[in-house]
Amino acid sequence: MPSSHTTPSTFDRAGLSGEQLVAMLRTMLMQRTLESRGFQLNRQGKIPFASASEGHEAVQAGAAMAFVAGSDILVPYYRDLGLDLGIGLSPYEVLLSLFARAADQSAGRQFPHHYASKRLGLHTISSVIAAQLPHAVGAAYALAYRKESGRAVLVTFGDGATSEGEWHESLNFSAVHRLPIVFLCENNEWAISTPLDRQMGQPDLWRRAAGYGMPGIVVNGMDPVACYVAVRDALDRARSGGGASLIEAKCYRFLSHTTDDDDRTYRSPQEVAQRRKDDPVPRFEESLVAAGILTSAELASLKATILAETNEATDRAEAMAYPKSEEITTNVYAGSHEPWR
Amino acid sequence: MAVMNNVEAVRATLHDALATDDRTLILGEDVGNRGNVFLITKDFINEFGPERIIDTPIAEASIVGIAVGMAMEGLRPIAEIQFADFIYPAFNQIVGEAAKTRYRSNGEYTCPLVIRTPYGGGVRGALSHSVSIEALFYHVPGLKIVAPAFPADVKGLLNTAIDDPDPVLFLEHKKTYRLIKGEVPEGHYTIPLGKANVLKEGSQLTVVSYGLYVHWALEAAQMLNDDGLSVEVIDLRSIRPMDRGTILASVRKTRKLLIVHEDNKFGGIGAEISAMVAEEALFDLDAPIRRHCAPDVPAMGYALPLEEEYLSSPAKMADAMREMVRF
């Protein structure tokens, strides 16, 4: 598997500018900081729930860099905080979601990290695994139908989603119609507590693409630049009429599934500690510093800025009001809601 | 006015929608080359092209799910589930996704989608080509459900469903497809959802129904009429939203209510109507509310006696009506 984290002299920037590389690192650091904040707020009893994506930073920052917000369409899943941030969601919006405040985009209705923004091309999702895939296919069909070349859909999901029937249905339909869509699997090896070998008989998900007649690509999901390249190439193929692709980014989930889960009940701390050696965040920091793209002092300053932004966003969001109870019936339908007429 | 059966009314309305709005697409199993198993969309693929008349793989969850994605991105898809019995794999996409799109995104995304499907029995369709599904879905806020009985209502309500900014489940009783004919007004018109139709006025009993059973209830009411008994027959047309005002006005006049539907009794549409009338008009009633519905079995069997036992008939309905009038 290719890795861009060997030595500075072999660091492959894949045409990315220093500014873009730092932006990717910033997204990764922000994701990690905000995620820690979610768990902290939960343990402080300030929010009921937070979910985890530690270990997914590289694939999400890479994918976000390849995505064109305002043109492409992102249909994510709930473990995509970094991808949402990378395409333009703000830390404040994340905190509003965590605190379930009225100013949250969903007005406090959605679980954390289930964002929606037409401005960013970010679709609304449920928590039902793989249910968003057919929506992505329909969105891609709409682009193709309207002959909006140059636009594509990026849909993401975990390894767990690949067991669902709608996963198969979506890849199959996309291949039949050569739709402008990229299926990006963030394979973290765990469907909550169920490991990969209990989910599938053949663990290389990318190989399934051949069965649908589309390109299958595997990439080191701990390498943000490699992930960027894989997603960029697949999105370019989709945007230019080349049809659908399946990318498998092999990453890992370092934390429990959510604040309500305890991963010590199904996997050993030793396993997690072993995999922590692949942690993409410190590795990417080191790569950029070693390559001279960022100084150690600049890195420290970046981290301090991100923490300050997170603190500011936390305080600001916490001070906001909950949604008003009488708003419970708005937006059930267009217009007023009354089952009896 | 042209005389059409229900198949022709669906077909004509879909044709007009496709001809007037290029955001409109039809997707489903065998809707293209075959032109739908009842030939509702026959030759549409030649006229509108395979990009708009999409023969999908046999995959109901994604027929609806793909339509949800199309709707979220500005198209006006009309998804077809070939038989209502096959809709179960799409349950999450209808209930968990389409019905919640507007609510969960607080209006950022919407799902203007029509799901058409033939339902109901009396055609020797057995366990998997004859079910009624309305009760499984009418519990769900965010959805609208329509079940017309007459060709003119099919056109007006399907036009409304297609124009509606939210997901609509459009139920077509398959036994009425070619059995029921009627005059259909020319040109584009709509009928509001949630507006019932008093088909026959009467003074001694209110009968509420929808779909095929509306026609049988009218026959039964006529039998009673011949005996000098006066029954009012209401066609709901729309199941969600439902017309409270028309039902209550009628019940307050006749002081008796019989609900007649093909679906199972337990937890059916009649349960909600009964509860509403009990809440709103209990002391206006001169008799207990009755429901004349299917027995509590999973579906109607293939053998004729099993199908006949499952279904009501004009004669059985007339008996139920007489009992109520005499109470």
- The domain that holds B166 is classified in CATH as 3.40.50.970
- For chain A, how many residues are written? 341
Do residue B209 and residue B165 come from a single domain?
no
Q: pLDDT digits over B50-105, tens only?
A: 999 999 999 999 999 999 999 999 999 999 999 999 999 999 999 999 999 999 99
- Tokens at residue A146, please? 């309207």
CA distance A303 to A309: 10
Q: Verify that B37 and B161 share a domain, yes or no.
A: yes
């998997």: which residue's tokens?
B128
Same domain assignment for residues B112 and B137? yes
Residue B192 lies in a domain: no
Q: Which residue of A has its CA nearest to B100?
A: A332
Q: Is this model's pTM higher than 0.90 or not? A: yes
Rounded Cα gap, residues A32 and A20, in angstroms: 19
Helices (H), A208-279: 208-212, 224-239, 269-276
Residues B16 and B124 in one domain: yes
H or E element at residue B54: strand B53-55
B158 and B217 together in one domain: no
* B189: in domain: no
Whether residue B322 is contained in a domain is answered as yes
CB atoms under 10 Å from CB of A314, counted, come to: 22
* CA-closest candidate to residue B94, choices B83, B79, B105: B79
Asked if residue B190 is part of any domain, the answer here is no
Which of B160, B184, B208 is the C-terminal boundary of a domain?
A: B184
Q: Residues for chain B: how many in total? A: 327
Q: Return the SS3 of B184.
A: strand
Same domain, B179 and B216: no
How many Cα atoms within 13 Å fall on the side-chain side of residue A176? 15
Q: Determine contact: B59 vs chain A, CB below 8 A.
A: yes
Distance, CA of B99 to CA of B68 (rounded, Å): 10
β-bridge partners, B200: B233
Question: Do B142 and B235 share a domain, yes or no?
Answer: no
Residues B219 and B266 in one domain: yes
- Whether B36 and B128 share a structural domain: yes
Is A218 in contact with A229 (CB distance < 8 Å)? no
pLDDT in tens, B245-277: 999 999 999 999 999 999 999 999 999 999 999
pLDDT of residue B1: 86
pLDDT at A10: 56
Residue B266 sits in a domain whose CATH number is: 3.40.50.920
Structural domain contains residue B96? yes
B283 is a domain residue: yes
A116 to B64: CB separation less than 8 angstroms, yes or no: no
Please check whether residues B83 and B124 belong to one and the same domain: yes
Expressed as residue numbers, the domain containing B271 is: 197-326
In a domain, B230, yes or no: yes
Which of A124, A147, A157 should one mutate to test binding to chain B, selecting the residue with the greatest count of B CBs within 10 A?
A: A124
Q: Are residues B11 and B157 in the same domain?
A: yes
In order of their start, the domains of chain A are 15-329 (3.40.50.970)
- Residue B191: inside a domain: no
Residue B134: which of B271, B31, B274 has the closest Cα? B271
Is the Cβ pair B75, A145 closer than 8 Å? yes
Beta-carbon pairs below 8 A across chains A and B = 157
Q: Which long-range contacts (CB under 8 A, 24 or more apart) does A281-290 make?
A: A281/A28, A281/A29, A281/A32, A281/A57, A283/A5, A283/A222, A284/A5, A284/A24, A284/A25, A284/A28, A284/A58, A284/A224, A285/A25, A286/A5, A287/A4, A287/A5, A287/A8, A287/A11, A288/A21, A288/A22, A288/A25, A290/A7, A290/A8, A290/A11
**Does B129 participate in catalysis according to the annotation?**
yes
* Substitution target from B72, B94, B101 for chain A, most A beta carbons within 10 A: B72
Task: Out of B184, B207, B239, pick the residue that ends a domain.
Answer: B184
Structure tokens at A69: 């917000």
- Among B105, B242, B243, beta carbon nearest to A116: B105
- Strands B181-184, B2-5: parallel, antiparallel or unpaired by DSSP? antiparallel
Nearest chain A residue to B276 by CA: give it. Answer: A340
Q: Which residues contact A30 (CB under 8 A, 6 or more apart)?
A: A82, A85, A91, A306, A309, A310
B50 and B81 both lie in a single domain: yes
The HSE-up count of residue A241 (CA atoms within 13 Å, CB side) is 4
Number of domains present in the structure of chain B = 2
Tokens 């300030």 — which residue? A46
Select the residue of A73, A106, A341 nearest B105 (Cβ to Cβ).
Answer: A106
How close B61 comes to chain A (CA, Å)? 7
User: What does each of the 341 residues of chain A score in pLDDT, given as a tens digit?
Assistant: 444 444 444 578 999 999 999 999 999 999 999 999 999 999 999 999 999 899 999 999 999 999 999 999 999 999 999 999 999 999 999 999 999 999 999 999 999 999 999 999 999 999 999 999 999 999 999 999 999 999 999 999 999 999 999 999 999 999 999 999 999 999 999 999 999 999 999 999 999 999 999 999 999 999 999 999 999 999 999 999 999 999 999 999 999 999 999 999 999 999 999 999 999 999 999 999 999 999 999 999 999 999 999 999 999 999 999 999 999 999 999 998 889 98
The C-alpha of B141 sits at a distance from chain A's nearest C-alpha, in angstroms, of: 7
Residue where one domain finishes, among candidates B184, B214, B244: B184
Residue B318, SS3 per DSSP: helix
**Tokens read off for A262:** 């305890």
**How many angstroms separate the CA atoms of A78 and A60, rounded?**
12
- Tell whether B228 lies on the interface with A, counting CB pairs under 8 A: no
What is d(CA A59, CA A28) in angstroms, rounded to the nearest whole number? 10
